[in-house]
Amino acid sequence: MPKRTDIKSILVLGSGPIVIGQACEFDYSGTQACRALRREGYRVVLVNSNPATIMTDPEFADATYIEPLDRDTVAAIIAQERPDALLPTVGGQTALNLAVALDEAGVLEKHGIETLGASVRSVRLGEDRLLFKQAMQEVGVEVLLSGIAKSIDEARAVAAPFGYPVVIRPSFTLGGTGGGIAFNKDDFEAIVRRGLTLSPVHEILIEESVLGWKEFELEVMRDAADTFVVVCSIENLDPMGVHTGDSITVAPQMTLSDIEYQAMRDDAKKVIRAVGVATGGSNIQFAVHPKTGRRIVIEMNPRVSRSSALASKATGFPIAKIAALLAVGYRLDEIPNDITKKTPAAFEPTLDYVVVKIPRFTFEKFPGADTTLGVQMKSVGEVMALGRTFAESFGKAVRSLETGRTGWIDAPSASPPAPPKADALRVPRPDRIFAVLAALRGGTPVATVADVTGIDPWFLDRFQEVIAVEREVRAAGRRALGDADLLRRAKRSGFSDPDLALLTGSAVADARAARTRHGVTPVFNRVDTCAAEFESRTPYLYSCYETEDEADPSDREKVIVLGSGPNRIGQGLEFDYCCVHAAEAITQAGYESVMINCNPETVSTDYDTSDRLYFEPLTLEDVLAVVEREKPKGVLVQFGGQTPLKLAKALEAAGVPILGTSPDAIDRAEDRERFGELLRDVNLQAPPWGVARDVAEGLKVGRQLGFPLLVRPSYVLGGRAMRIAYDEDTLEAVLEEAIAAFPDRPVLIDRFLEDAYELDVDALGDGEHVVVAGVMQHIEEAGIHSGDSYAVLPPYRRVPRAALGEIRQATAKLGQALEVVGLMNVQFAIRGGELFVLEVNPRASRTVPFVAKSTGVPFARLAARLCLGETLPGIGLTEEPPVLGFSIKAPVFPFRRFEGVDTILGPEMRSTGEVMGRDRSFGLAFLKAALGAGIRLPEKGNAFLSVHDGDKDALLPLARELDSLGFRLLATAGTAKALARGGLTAKTVLKVNEGRPNIVDLLINGSVDLIVNTPLGRESFYDEVSIRRTALDRDVPCLTTLSAASAALEAIRARAAGALTYAPLQEEVRV
């Protein structure tokens, strides 16, 4: 059936900010869907609060709303746009939940909107475990023994027959938030209580445990003619019990026989039909008992998911795009396979390589968080690698992680390694796989490791084969470098050059030279969906140590973009956005764009984003291999964050032309001594600073500078290990931490500017001129990482015009001095009218997409053109673009995932994503930004105030305003006294350690609607942590700085004054 002509416009819902469990993969899926639907001639209306996405670029939709993804906002946009249909299946659980909410509120019915892909009924079936169970039983698919409970008593009754362990899952939460496995009665009661609270419908599912069973996923598609295909099978290396997002996974599945696999496929077909997904993709998870083979369907997601992104990248089958086309009536056999161009999309991809995905964790950002992996996802990103065998792929995946490991081999550490925990094998933690390798190396038999870990022996046997090669190389030592056969076997087992260097006790360069001399060099194979049965027309490539190269580069001039690798806190979607823009600019400039990246969740790793895609680790070795094959005009390193920047010097040394700002200029900005000289040259000042290489030196520098101090390692993004020290004891601890985190990098120590406010500037340079793209003011005072601050464009208060002029001049001077070609970002602080330069980063920054969306100017793309040799006047960018109204960027945090972790912000970045609020006034923009970030500011109610002494005077006007808006004031004794002095009455509330009922009791009882709580110091730390945690768990807005409180008040006032309006990006005059 050809496409439907009865619908003209389609509303697409995005997934909002990046959070754990919902990341870049939904930019990939939304972008593909929007592009496909527009190409088919539909009017696409898009709502997504996340400005860092490619999908919210104005060309991907006819009307793009960067607005909060809540029911009322979307309902208002629907009333305004009157779309014919809604596509809720490409925006993750957020979009599905929103579709259900819109349906329940009668919005869809009122406007006659049809849901495409999955119906609201299918969404409910997929999510509601009881309905799902019934549906499965009706079609004869086995499910877990389970029961639903809405109270602790019901829970006990349901669980009684299952014994321990037993699994608890709250209904309707993202990525399993709030769930857990209980091994005893106490665990059980605690997890049940938490689950009942966190579930929006206060309902939990209790299941028999399948802990230790094998886990599989099938990515399936179905069209309107009921044609069904499995796009990809995925096997989790970590058995059941670890969330699939936190598991190492392998595609295609490795250990099922055809009989077992086809039975699973039959089940999947029944599941998608029973759930009623009329068209599109679904993800279906299975558990298989390793001995009996008993197979159970665990869950199904009637939508594009993280696993479908992985499956798309793993196979070359673009699930999201095809799902969108199926949704508008096409059938699978009517859609061509993009890779072969000749065969249709109605087929099942087959792989002649192995794909390994490894999750990336950032527990170091959340001290105190439990690193045990369970049914609740905790990783923030992932890498994928392709190799001709499991071993080759696994080695590549490990080195893609950028966690300091060179691949298979543990780098010798300066400090003696911490002894492995006794339960390192049994308990799944992020680094369990390395404990597994260590155990196998130490001679623990495969059967024992398999028994303790639940990892299928097939994988362990492959590890054993790798370890055998490793032993041979280690035993041969430097002689191995003369043994071509051994080198080839090692490379075919996935060992990196640095691995070989460590094993043979030689320099990396020697290892590389030796293998090259012996002709042991990689070739590139194509990802072609069909195991070479048909010719591939699409250069989507991976390296391996086979014999025939299929890269087949053209003789056109090429430019390589280095991507940003796995998502992590501090380096995520924003940089992928920049890389995608760079690729577009390269193509538009008439070159061939070549992308290298290893993150399967991204738009950059779509084979049609660039002319040529290399799915490869971002290490020197792997990048050089591509460079040698493609022989590009140059490489762009400034768009992908620190990952490519770290390679810049070595690439340059290897003779690779770096386009844009020179690696030396990058170094001048990063190296503190050279940066000091730079500032002196241009007559600007930084806060007093020093550099230390060890703790003693650090303490000396600290004493000279005077407290408080800001301490951080050099060459890191996201404020990793960055801390503020108010005294010598803290300084010592902080120095130790920084040196332990990055032993080979000097520690930077700055005088910390208290009570300063910060501004962030993005600018572009062409080597001669500099044009400011945007000046953003942080709402929070200095000391909170810029990535975790609310940022306002343009600056909203307190910044004198003269200071702004000074900032623009300073930016220009710095850019000119560094001869910046491309993007740069400068962070300034103003204290008492004095301007300080905190940092200069001659590269793409996290705020580039935000500034682009606020101004309508695609700065990343323009910057790439500058890198390719154009000038600012040449591209028509000669002055800072105006901003209409206000745009505010709000951070989003993963604290819910990490129980007990304090939510207070500091210089180390901890947010995973961001949203943007835009409107004509600051207050309305803030209201939208907060709402987008999930903070529903109350219009009235009880406001609890508790601030430190220094804030007490400044609190008064805010309290007065709260009072005048009709809020009832609650305060701790000290704060209440201060308010009384100002003539305000506040009801006194006990602190946690003062007796009951205290503030936490009030919070739990729902008697507090807003909290203003600024840090009071160490003595009341416990009190504050419990207030902030409880507020978080109960969804009560908690403002921890007075400036944030003041901004929030302005928003509340603006809300009271008038209704919110929504305008698409495409409307030029919108405010």
Partner 1 sequence: MSGAVLILEDGRTFSGRAVGAPGTTFGEVVFNTGLTGYQETLTDPSYRGQIVVMTAAHVGNYGLNDEDVESSRIQVAGFAARHFPDRFSSARGKEPIGQGLGEGGVVGIDELDARALVRHLRSRGVMRGAISTQTASEADVTALVEKVKEQPTMAGAALALTVGTTTRYGFALPPGIARKGRVAAIDYGIKRNILRMLAARGLEPTVFPAAATAEELLAGRFDGYFLSNGPGDPDALSSCVAEVKRLVESGVPVFGICLGQQLLGLALGGTTYKLKFGHRGANHPVKNIQTGRVAITSQNHGFSVAADSLPSNVELTHVNLNDGTCEGFRTTDRPVFAVQYHPESAPGPHDSGALFDEFVSLVERGEAR
Helix (H, G, I), strand (E, B) or coil at 275: helix
If the CB atoms of residues 532 and 980 are measured against partner 1, the closer one turns out to be: 532
If the CB atoms of residues 456 and 1023 are measured against partner 1, the closer one turns out to be: 456
If the CB atoms of residues 18 and 520 are measured against partner 1, the closer one turns out to be: 520
3-state helix, strand, coil in the chain (%, to 5): 40, 20, 40
If the CB atoms of residues 153 and 548 are measured against partner 1, the closer one turns out to be: 548
Q: Dig out the tokens for 804 from the structure.
A: 């702004």
If the CB atoms of residues 456 and 670 are measured against partner 1, the closer one turns out to be: 456
Figure out which of the listed residues 351, 401, 595, 603 binds partner 1, where binding follows CB under 8 A.
Answer: 351
* Contact map string, positions 359 to 388, toward partner 1, x by CB under 8 A: -----------------------------x
823-826 contacts, C-beta under 8 A, 24 or more apart? 823/578, 823/638, 823/639, 823/762, 823/763, 823/764, 823/848, 823/859, 823/860, 823/863, 824/661, 824/762, 824/763, 824/764, 824/765, 824/770, 825/760, 825/761, 825/762, 825/763, 826/760, 826/761, 826/763
If the CB atoms of residues 421 and 471 are measured against partner 1, the closer one turns out to be: 471
Least Å from the CB of residue 487 to partner 1: 15
Least Å from the CB of residue 228 to partner 1: 8
The radius of gyration of the chain's CA atoms, rounded to the nearest angstrom, is 28
If the CB atoms of residues 457 and 553 are measured against partner 1, the closer one turns out to be: 457
State yes or no: residue 200 binds partner 1 (CB under 8 A): no
Beta-sheet strand order (sheet of 987-988):
987-988, 968-971, 942-946, 1010-1013, 1038-1039
Least Å from the CB of residue 521 to partner 1: 14
State yes or no: residue 616 binds partner 1 (CB under 8 A): no
Beta-sheet strand order (sheet of 146-149):
146-149, 204-208, 166-170, 180-182
Q: What are phi and psi of 86, to 5 degrees?
A: -125, 130
Tell me the sheet residues that pair with 219. Answer: 232, 283
State yes or no: residue 535 binds partner 1 (CB under 8 A): yes
Characterize the bridge pairing of strands 770-781 and 757-766: antiparallel
If the CB atoms of residues 533 and 628 are measured against partner 1, the closer one turns out to be: 533
Least Å from the CB of residue 352 to partner 1: 4
Residues 242-261 that bind partner 1 (CB under 8 A): 252, 254-259, 261
If the CB atoms of residues 4 and 843 are measured against partner 1, the closer one turns out to be: 4
Q: Which stretch binds partner 1 (CB under 8 A): 52-60, 402-410, 475-483, 543-551?
A: 543-551
Give me the torsion for CA of 346, 350, 351, 356, rounded to 10°: 70
State yes or no: residue 227 binds partner 1 (CB under 8 A): yes
Determine the distance from the C-alpha atom of residue 643 to the mean position of all C-alpha atoms in its chain, rounded to a whole number: 15
Q: Which stretch binds partner 1 (CB under 8 A): 189-197, 546-554, 917-925, 1016-1024?
A: 546-554
CB distance 236 to 287 below 8 Å: no
How is residue 937 annotated by DSSP? -
Report d(CA 73, CA 817) in Å as an integer. 46
* Contact map string, positions 447 to 486, toward partner 1, x by CB under 8 A: ---------xxx--xx------------------------
* Contact map string, positions 846 to 885, toward partner 1, x by CB under 8 A: ----------------------------------------
* Cα–Cα distances in angstroms (integers) from residue 1024 to residues 901, 977, 996, in the given order: 12, 19, 16
State yes or no: residue 494 binds partner 1 (CB under 8 A): no
State yes or no: residue 552 binds partner 1 (CB under 8 A): no
| 726 burial via Cβ count (<10 Å: 0-12, 13-18, 19+) | middle
CB distance 192 to 155 below 8 Å: yes
Least Å from the CB of residue 458 to partner 1: 4
Applying CB under 8 A, what is the total number of residues that bind partner 1? 56
Report d(CA 255, CA 963) in Å as an integer. 66
Q: What are phi and psi of 325, to 5 degrees?
A: -70, -35
Report d(CA 264, CA 831) in Å as an integer. 65
Sequence letter at residue 471 = R
Figure out which of the listed residues 349, 634, 718, 815 binds partner 1, where binding follows CB under 8 A.
Answer: 349
State yes or no: residue 262 binds partner 1 (CB under 8 A): yes
Stated as kind and residue range, the H or E segment containing 46 is strand 43-47
Figure out which of the listed residues 52, 55, 358, 530 binds partner 1, where binding follows CB under 8 A.
Answer: 530
Q: What count of residues does the chain have?
A: 1071
Least Å from the CB of residue 392 to partner 1: 9
If the CB atoms of residues 390 and 922 are measured against partner 1, the closer one turns out to be: 390
Figure out which of the listed residues 59, 266, 681, 694 binds partner 1, where binding follows CB under 8 A.
Answer: 266
Figure out which of the listed residues 79, 411, 531, 653 binds partner 1, where binding follows CB under 8 A.
Answer: 531
State yes or no: residue 443 binds partner 1 (CB under 8 A): no
Report d(CA 277, CA 73) in Å as an integer. 27
If the CB atoms of residues 246 and 392 are measured against partner 1, the closer one turns out to be: 392
Least Å from the CB of residue 390 to partner 1: 7
Q: Dig out the tokens for 671 from the structure.
A: 């190296």
Report d(CA 1059, CA 570) in Å as an integer. 35
State yes or no: residue 527 binds partner 1 (CB under 8 A): no
Helix (H, G, I), strand (E, B) or coil at 41: coil
If the CB atoms of residues 292 and 964 are measured against partner 1, the closer one turns out to be: 292
Figure out which of the listed residues 347, 434, 707, 726 binds partner 1, where binding follows CB under 8 A.
Answer: 347
Residues 285-324 that bind partner 1 (CB under 8 A): 290-293
Figure out which of the listed residues 41, 112, 344, 368 binds partner 1, where binding follows CB under 8 A.
Answer: 344
Report d(CA 614, CA 683) in Å as an integer. 44
State yes or no: residue 754 binds partner 1 (CB under 8 A): no
Tell me the H-state helices in 555-713: 573-588, 620-630, 642-653, 663-670, 672-681, 695-705
Report d(CA 1058, CA 927) in Å as an integer. 12
State yes or no: residue 547 binds partner 1 (CB under 8 A): yes
Q: 1010 in the Ramachandran plot: left (φ > 0), alpha (ψ -120 to 50) or beta?
A: beta
Least Å from the CB of residue 709 to partner 1: 54
If the CB atoms of residues 487 and 1012 are measured against partner 1, the closer one turns out to be: 487
Give me the torsion for CA of 209, 210, 212, 214, rounded to 10°: -170
Characterize the bridge pairing of strands 747-751 and 757-766: unpaired
Report d(CA 745, CA 672) in Å as an integer. 12
Report d(CA 414, CA 740) in Å as an integer. 9
Least Å from the CB of residue 222 to partner 1: 11
| Residues with Cβ within 8 Å of residue 86, at least 6 apart in sequence | 10, 11, 13, 99, 102, 108, 113, 114, 115, 116
State yes or no: residue 229 binds partner 1 (CB under 8 A): yes
If the CB atoms of residues 307 and 1013 are measured against partner 1, the closer one turns out to be: 307
If the CB atoms of residues 74 and 355 are measured against partner 1, the closer one turns out to be: 355
Helix (H, G, I), strand (E, B) or coil at 236: strand
If the CB atoms of residues 346 and 710 are measured against partner 1, the closer one turns out to be: 346
Least Å from the CB of residue 119 to partner 1: 21
Q: Shortest CA distance to 982 belongs to which of 956, 947, 951?
A: 956
State yes or no: residue 354 binds partner 1 (CB under 8 A): yes
Figure out which of the listed residues 104, 138, 533, 628 binds partner 1, where binding follows CB under 8 A.
Answer: 533
Q: Which stretch binds partner 1 (CB under 8 A): 51-59, 122-130, 304-312, 349-357?
A: 349-357
How is residue 549 annotated by DSSP? -
State yes or no: residue 219 binds partner 1 (CB under 8 A): no
Least Å from the CB of residue 213 to partner 1: 13
Contacts to partner 1 by CB under 8 A: 225-230, 233, 252, 254-259, 261-262, 265-266, 290-293, 331-333, 342-344, 346-354, 388-390, 456-458, 461-462, 525, 530-535, 546-548, 550
